[in-house]
């Protein structure tokens, strides 16, 4: 159930706003049919979440096609024109570049970058926000970006690092496939962070775009000898605080 | 940790340590060309530290010494190659090196325990150390290395270096000693150590740790919580790859309620319980989390202090058990561990 400013909303209330086959309508359909009540202060707040979710999915496809390589944290690489490589393998945005340029460079010059799946998720979130926020707002909001895994995250995106069981799982949620019996020679395949693309497929950096079965199969190939536990999708998801991000967006005046 | 070097130090270790890796490699190359057997004896010396063998890999190749190396050194170099190869998900699964052999166990132990003195040598070396620790813990259940692993984690953290694989391997031991060793850093006067210990143990971040008293207090409280819950702990498998505040372990409340040790440290619903237990278990599983906590805590305390009354109490209907627990139960230590 969707509740906007205290008013219960129905699927038909959104018919004139979005195409019937759009990702937005798909998400609305899950929300309105849920037994859980989803509260929004305004229609704009909901529309922001729907748009950002759509852009998270779009950014996942873009990153997949960017040519960015996979590397364990000890062997990550980045374009030194925009990023400094931290000692722990993360990327720290240079002081003399704009955040928007630094993020866009990853998509333009993907082959100059290699990293693990969690960093890729952070890149997806920043690119999605860059697609939604005006460039000026993006650069004012994110003055110093650090990319690693779920640490050193900007306070506005901190919630993406938290995983919790949800009433409903939605397109653009961050999900996690765990591989409990991972081969100790390849600890980086202990699990895979993915974005739910909303069509039965997931994007996970290093694995690519696959359905759940494909990801599980790939992880299972990297299990310890004699393993008896299969990789599996966890019953939890990570999400940005859409309302907090919407608030920044809706208060912006150029 | 001391330097690990003594008067009886191998010459290669000595030169590497005091004149640098370059000097060590030059000396070995020269010796290998002029007095090959002496070079072989030096590198095969039982006292050699793993770091020296590791840096001499190019010279060993160049001098074609592989076949003359000791079994320990040959195995170590083979496993290093395996650990450092860039494996894609699409590559053939499995390892060509049998990880579970006793021979490999002792070689890995030598690599890790002597290599730990030189942690930070370079990224490849550190990766080999981390992977050795993972194999020792996961395949060989070698828990004696936990204190050294923890020491490396905290030292690396001080320098801002990569710790996630080593932390993951520590908790893969599924051993409460890993928690105790990390908890000892809660008392550290170095703020970075205490903060990391708190994060690794998933303790509340808002409790001040300014004075020795604060730090000692948090440490004592944690140990007390651990003592109470140790038999019922299981390890979750959560890691820094999964989320920003992983919960390494949790209490199996049902096991605590039934006072059944969870020796395998994995969360599995209790089965094959006696009929009476089975009925208690079934009623317990229907309770809200808060009630489960109160009941489990009370049950464990009662079992410890008055086993005969515990037996009687367990036969009461669950509502009566809760009533008694609420009136007689204490407050639980405020730990974020689930």
The answer to the question of residue A190 being in a domain is yes
Distance between B134 CA and the closest CA of chain A, angstroms? 5
> For position B104, what pLDDT does the model report?
94
Domain that holds residue A34: 1-40
pLDDT in tens, A211-228: 999 999 999 999 998 899
* Of B124, B126, B242, Cβ closest to residue A176: B242
**Could you give the maximum distance between any two Cα atoms of chain B, in Å?**
86
Q: What is residue B336's predicted lDDT score, i.e. its pLDDT? A: 40
A226 part of a folded domain: yes
The whole-angstrom separation of Cα B258 and Cα A90 is 46
Q: Which two tokens stand for residue B234?
A: 């299981």
Interface check A207 vs B, CB under 8 A: yes
- In the block, tokens 């997806």 appear at A124
Q: Quick check: A184 and B137 CB within 8 A?
A: yes
* Mutation site for A-interface testing, chosen from B241, B245, B265, B267 by largest number of A Cβ within 10 Å: B241
Nearest-CB residue to B165 (from A86, A180, A187): A187
Domain for residue A25, yes or no?
yes
Which residues of chain A make contact with B99, given a CB cutoff of 8 A?
Answer: 184-185, 224-225
Structural domain total, chain A: 2
Asked, for residue A228, whether it belongs to a domain, the answer is yes
The reply to whether A32 falls in a domain is yes
Chain A residues closer than 8 Å to B90 by CB: 218
Assembly ipTM: 0.91
Would residue A20 count as lying in a domain? yes
Distance from CA of B7 to the nearest CA of A (A): 34
- pLDDT computed for residue A157 by the predictor: 96
Report long-range pairs for B172-176 (Cβ below 8 Å, ≥24 apart): B172/A184, B172/B134, B172/B137, B172/B138, B172/B235, B173/B137, B173/B141, B173/B143, B173/B146, B174/B234, B174/B235, B174/B264, B174/B265, B174/B266, B175/B143, B175/B146, B175/B265, B176/B226, B176/B230, B176/B233
Gap between the Cα atoms of B185 and A135, Å rounded = 44
pLDDT of B170: 97
**pLDDT 10s digit of each residue in chain A, 254 long?**
999 999 999 999 999 999 999 999 999 999 999 999 999 999 999 999 999 999 999 999 999 999 999 999 999 999 999 999 999 999 999 999 999 999 999 999 999 999 999 999 999 999 999 999 999 999 999 999 999 988 889 999 999 999 999 999 999 999 999 999 999 999 999 999 999 999 999 999 999 999 999 999 999 999 998 899 999 999 999 999 999 999 999 999 88
- The mean pLDDT values, 10 residues at a time, for chain B of 338 residues are 66 95 97 96 96 98 97 96 77 65 95 97 96 96 97 97 96 96 96 95 87 92 95 93 93 92 69 56 86 93 92 92 79 39
Nearest CA to B20 out of B55, B65, B61, B59 is that of B55
Interchain CB distance below 8 Å, A221 and B82: no
Q: Of chain A residues 48-107, which have a CB less than 8 A from chain B? A: 70-75, 86-89
CB pair distance less than 8 Å for A221 and B89: yes
Specify whether the CB–CB gap between A224 and A182 falls below 8 A: yes
Task: Tell me whether residue A240 is in a domain.
Answer: no
Residue A210 lies in a domain: yes
pLDDT the model gives residue B2: 58
pLDDT of residue B93: 56
Closest-approach residue (CA) in chain B for A119: B241
The CA distance from B332 to the nearest CA of chain A, in Å, is 24
pLDDT of the residue at B282: 75
């Amino acid at each position: 159930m969707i509740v906007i400013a205290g008013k219960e909303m129905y699927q038909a209330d959104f018919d004139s706003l979005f195409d019937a086959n759009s990702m937005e309508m798909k998400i609305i359909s899950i929300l309105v049919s849920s037994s859980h009540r989803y509260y929004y202060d305004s229609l704009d707040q909901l529309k922001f979440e729907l748009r950002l979710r759509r852009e998270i999915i779009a950014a996942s496809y873009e990153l997949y096609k960017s040519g960015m390589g996979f590397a364990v944290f000890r062997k990550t690489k980045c374009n030194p024109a925009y990023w400094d490589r931290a000692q722990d393998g993360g990327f720290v945005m240079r002081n003399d570049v704009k955040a928007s340029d630094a993020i866009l460079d990853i998509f333009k010059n993907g082959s100059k970058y290699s990293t693990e799946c969690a960093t890729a998720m952070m890149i997806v979130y920043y690119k999605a926000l860059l697609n939604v926020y005006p460039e000026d707002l993006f650069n004012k909001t994110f003055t110093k970006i650090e990319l690693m895994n779920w640490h050193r995250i900007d306070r506005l995106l901190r919630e993406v690092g938290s995983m919790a069981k949800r009433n409903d799982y939605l397109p653009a949620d961050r999900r996690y496939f765990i591989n409990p019996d991972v081969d100790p020679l390849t600890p980086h395949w202990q699990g895979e962070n993915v974005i739910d693309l909303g069509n039965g497929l997931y994007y996970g950096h290093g694995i690519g775009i696959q359905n759940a079965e494909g990801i599980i199969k790939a992880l299972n190939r990297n299990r310890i000898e004699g393993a008896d536990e299969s990789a599996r999708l966890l019953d939890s998801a990570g999400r940005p605080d859409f309302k907090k991000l919407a608030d920044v967006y809706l208060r912006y005046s150029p | 940790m001391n330097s690990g070097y003594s008067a009886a130090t191998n010459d290669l270790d000595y030169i590497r340590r005091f004149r640098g890796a370059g000097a060590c490699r030059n000396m070995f190359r020269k010796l290998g060309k002029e007095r090959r057997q002496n070079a072989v004896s030096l590198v095969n010396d039982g006292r050699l530290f793993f770091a020296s063998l590791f840096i001499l890999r190019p010279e060993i190749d160049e001098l074609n010494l592989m076949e003359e190396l000791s079994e320990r050194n040959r195995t170590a170099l083979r496993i290093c190659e395996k650990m450092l190869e860039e494996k894609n998900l699409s590559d053939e699964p499995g390892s060509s090196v049998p990880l579970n052999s006793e021979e490999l166990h002792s070689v890995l132990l030598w690599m890790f325990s002597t290599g730990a003195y030189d942690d930070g040598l370079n990224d490849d070396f550190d990766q080999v150390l981390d992977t050795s620790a993972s194999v020792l813990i996961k395949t060989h259940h070698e828990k004696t290395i936990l204190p050294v692993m923890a020491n490396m984690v905290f030292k690396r953290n001080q320098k801002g270096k990569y710790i996630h694989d080593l932390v993951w391997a520590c908790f893969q031991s599924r051993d409460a000693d890993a928690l105790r060793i990390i908890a000892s850093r809660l008392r550290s006067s170095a703020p970075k150590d205490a903060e990391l210990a708190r994060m690794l143990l998933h303790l509340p971040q808002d409790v001040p740790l300014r004075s020795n008293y604060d730090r000692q207090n948090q440490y004592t409280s944690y140990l007390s919580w651990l003592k109470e819950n140790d038999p019922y702990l299981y390890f979750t498998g959560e890691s820094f790859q999964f989320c920003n505040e992983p919960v390494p372990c949790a209490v199996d409340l049902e096991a605590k309620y039934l006072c059944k040790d969870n020796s395998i440290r994995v969360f599995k619903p209790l089965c094959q319980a006696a009929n009476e237990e089975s009925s208690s278990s079934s009623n317990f599983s229907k309770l809200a989390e808060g009630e489960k906590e109160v009941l489990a805590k009370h049950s464990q305390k009662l079992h410890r202090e008055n086993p005969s009354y515990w037996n009687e109490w367990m036969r009461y209907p669950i509502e009566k058990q809760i009533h008694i627990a609420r009136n007689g139960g204490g407050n639980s230590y405020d730990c974020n561990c689930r």
